[in-house]
Every structure is written in C-alpha cells, then in structure tokens.
Amino acid sequence: MEKAAFAIPDLRAFLSALDAAGELTCITEPVAPHFEIAREISRRDGQPVLFENLPGYPGWRIASGYVAQREHYARALGCAPGDLVRRMAEAIAHPQPPAEVEAAPCQEVVETEVDLDRVPIPRYHPLDGGPYITAGITVIHDPDYGRNVSFHRLMRIGRDRFVARIVEQRGTDTAWRKSPAGLPMAVCIGVPPHVLLAAAMSPEKGVDELAVAQALAPTPTVRAKTAPLRIPAGVELVLEGVLTHEFTTEGPFPDLTGTMDGTREQPIFRVTAITHRREPIFHALLPAGLEHKQLMGMPREPTIFAAVNEVAACTGVRITPGGCSWLHAVVQIEKRGPEDGRQAIEAAFRGHPSLKHVVIVETDVDIDDPAAVEWAIATRFQADRGLHVFPDQPSSSLDPSARQAPGAKARTAKMGLDATISWGAEREGYRRMGYE
C-alpha cells in the first residue's frame, strides 16, 4: 500500500496504517463489482479488505470493512476503544471550524462529461433494485441551518443520475423541501473513518457535522467544482449535482435488519460533475453487514450518553449488535439515587428516538459482554419493580413489527429494564464473587 502524499488524514493514510499492522487483506485476483464482490466481502464480514483488480474498471480499487469494528475508529482517533463514546460526545459538544484549502487530492481529475459507467458502483444482491452507492456521505447547505452532512443510499438509474432514499424530517429532507429549484448536493465516497463517524451522528440542527469531524481529527474542506458547497478535501471521489423534485421508484434494497426494504417513490439526484483522485478507491459497504451496523449504531451512543448524564452519572453506552445495532442499547450508570434507573431509561429514549428497548446496569457489569448484561437482568431485575413500558411511541421505520402507516411515522411500544441493584438493598448480596 503506497505512503499517503498529503498531510490530510485520508483513507489512504488509514489503509496504510491497517496494512502496517497486518490488518488489511489486499486481493489482486480479478473480482467483479457486481454480486461477486458482495460475496467476497460477506465471507470476510468485519475484516478490512482492498480489491485491487476490478475487470472493466482500470485504475480503480474498492475498499470495504475498514470501519466495521470499534477498534478501527479507536485507531483513527488515536484513543482506546473504551474512550470512543466520551471522545464522540466531546466532539458533538465542542465542534471546531474546519480549515479551508484551495486545492485537494479529491480534485486531481475533474469530469464534467458525466458517465457513471466508468465508476465501479456494485450490485450487491440479485433482489436489489439496481447498483447502489452505500457509503457515500452527502453534503448539503440548508438556507436556515447551514451545512449538513449525512448518508443516503443511492440507486443508480442512468449515466448521470440516481434515485436517493431520503428519510423524512431529517436534515437533507427539510432542506430539500425548502429548495423548489432543487437542492445542490455533493456525495463523497472513500471517506476517512472520523468523517464517516461524524456524518453518521445526528447532532442538533445547525451543528455542522464537518465541524464535529474537525473536533475528532483534521478535516480540511475545499470548494466543490460545480456546486456551491465546501466538501471534505481528503476523500477519494465526489459526485456533484442537484437533488431534484423529479421522482422515481427506489428499491428494493436490504435494510440494516437484514430484511428487504420495499420500494418507494423517491427524488432523483442528477450528477453534474465527477471529481476524484488518481487511481481512486471506491468504498463498498455491505448492506446489513458489520460495517453498516457499526456505522449506524455507534454514532448514536454519544447522544444517549449526553442525555443520560443530564439525569444520572452515566459511565458507558453500547448500541448492541443483537438489536440490529439500532433498536437496543445497554446503559451503564453509577447509581446515586432510587430513581436513577427509571430516569436513565427515559433519557436513553430521548438520546436516540429510534431506540426500542434499553437495559440499565451498574459499573460492575461489563457492557461489552452480553452474558454479563443478562446476568444483571437475572440477578438484579424484578419485572414488577424495574420494568417500564411506554405504549404508542414514534418508531423506527426499520422495525418490521412496528405499526406502519404509509406517509406517517411508524408507532411502537418501548420498554426499559432497570437491572440496577434496588435502592437501600444490602449490596453485598448482589456482588459477583471471583477467584482473582
């Protein structure tokens, strides 16, 4: 893997570090971007891999799995995995304005004759509605709230256009509804881990995710070539264009839960320019794979952490893989009062509105160990005291068991388990003995 030329923390620098640590698998045999690459990634789910030989796409490479584990983010941020939640919470609380540069690697090649046939956009599964971009971060500018960066899956439908999955009431959706002539949009692919992390967070409206990224690691921006936007300079590929008010059918496509999401009429994204580095690296994120789960779930932990710390002493949060890395969480607190458990439950649902079930444990329970969490439920939880059910709540559209109504927010019943030791109880009787 070649040494990174620019001092900008970019994907190449990160892949070099993984390679130096013996954690990157480089594949030189020819692998087709359609279907075959998904099989190869799925076989190595969670492992960083670089495909260096893509038939029909000379000079292109595809990376996958480089942000599939907490350790990958810890390496990118230069901290221990156990410190990630705190680092993310600090970055959201204290965003920093990114530096602005005039030239950037992501604009070494500029194409205004748009031909997406030249980009290796994978088709992952025969049931998919088409080839998809799954790890592109979307940069837009809201007339009232400023820059917003998030993810939208993009189904390719032509040489210069995609249909985008735009979940209602989030940043891109609200800005697009205020832009009758279309919303200028830039999609960046081949993005360093700290910028992916920030783009997947949902800070308050008006907080610029690139400023959150800058608080995690240097994130200089450069002016896009054809869209009135500044974009992260250290990315591999940029698709500049407009999110129009023309519609077509998007999907089907797998969702985070691993179930196939149905089709919807969604807006068309028309591309006006493509810019990229020489020998660009495309990022293929396997739908419902570990990388998808980690990138969806982990960025929600800091907002839960901050919300619980307003009502109790929160020491840790984990969005758990068993809950599709979206619907379940374990929250660890230092218990200091009889109501701490219930208040932490209610705060966790405020910190992540899509959360469905949450378990509260104390600091002697390892929140990275599902068996330890279950042990706390078995030995410290009583349903007639610690079970809190909240019927008829707004739900994630990802939960097939929720009550779904077209055009309306789904509805669900939420549940919290307070698995902390009952207040005033003799705590010695609850301590787990050990032989060390």
Q: What are phi and psi of 308, to 5 degrees?
A: -70, -35
295 is a contact residue toward ligand FMN (CB under 6 A): yes
Which of 336, 343, 299, 292 has the alpha carbon at shortest distance from 318? 299
Which residue in the set 8, 229, 243, 296 belongs to the binding site for ligand FMN (CB under 6 A)?
A: 296
Is-contact 95 208, C-beta < 8 A?
A: yes
Which of 198, 373, 221 has the alpha carbon at shortest distance from 300? 198
Nearer to ligand FMN, 65 or 341 (CB): 65
Helices (H) and strands (E) in the chain, counts: 12, 22
Is-contact 172 166, C-beta < 8 A?
A: yes
- The CB-of-77 to ligand FMN minimum distance in angstroms stands at 17
Which of 270, 223, 265, 267 has the alpha carbon at shortest distance from 242? 270
* Window 148 to 177, contacts with ligand FMN (CB under 6 A): 148, 150-153, 165-167, 170-172
Q: Which residue is nearest to ligand FMN (CB)?
A: 171
Nearer to ligand FMN, 134 or 332 (CB): 134
Active site residue 45: no
292 is a contact residue toward ligand FMN (CB under 6 A): yes
123 is a contact residue toward ligand FMN (CB under 6 A): no
Which residue in the set 202, 272, 393, 397 belongs to the binding site for ligand FMN (CB under 6 A)?
A: 202
Q: Total binding residues for ligand FMN by CB under 6 A?
A: 18
Which of 137, 304, 134, 108 has the alpha carbon at shortest distance from 219? 137
**Please, is 74 exposed, middle or buried when counting C-beta atoms within 10 Å of its C-beta (0-12, 13-18, 19+)?**
middle
Pairwise CA distance, residues 301 & 156, whole Å: 32
195 is a contact residue toward ligand FMN (CB under 6 A): no
74 is a contact residue toward ligand FMN (CB under 6 A): no
Pairwise CA distance, residues 295 & 26, whole Å: 23
Nearer to ligand FMN, 13 or 285 (CB): 285
- The CB-of-1 to ligand FMN minimum distance in angstroms stands at 24
Residue type, 376: A
72 is a contact residue toward ligand FMN (CB under 6 A): no
Beta strands at 357-362 and 328-334: parallel, antiparallel or unpaired: parallel
251 is a contact residue toward ligand FMN (CB under 6 A): no
352 is a contact residue toward ligand FMN (CB under 6 A): no
Nearer to ligand FMN, 373 or 398 (CB): 398
- Exposure class string for 412-433: b at 16+ Cβ within 10 A, else e: bebebbbbbbbeeeeeeeeeee
Pairwise CA distance, residues 173 & 150, whole Å: 11
- The CB-of-166 to ligand FMN minimum distance in angstroms stands at 5
User: Using CB under 6 A, which of the segments 45-53, 75-83, 195-203, 272-280 binds ligand FMN?
Assistant: 195-203
Place of tokens 């592109």: 136
Nearer to ligand FMN, 152 or 225 (CB): 152
User: Using CB under 6 A, which of the segments 11-19, 145-153, 328-336, 407-415 binds ligand FMN?
Assistant: 145-153
- The CB-of-326 to ligand FMN minimum distance in angstroms stands at 10
332 is a contact residue toward ligand FMN (CB under 6 A): no
**How many residues does the structure list for the chain?**
436
Which of 14, 11, 43 has the alpha carbon at shortest distance from 27? 43
- The CB-of-123 to ligand FMN minimum distance in angstroms stands at 17
288: left (phi over 0), alpha (psi -120 to 50) or beta: left
- The CB-of-430 to ligand FMN minimum distance in angstroms stands at 38
Nearer to ligand FMN, 47 or 172 (CB): 172
Nearer to ligand FMN, 294 or 412 (CB): 294
Catalytic residue among 10, 142, 208, 255: 255
- Provide the binding-site residues for ligand FMN, judged by CB under 6 A: 148, 150-153, 165-167, 170-172, 200-202, 285, 292, 295-296
Catalytic residues: 255
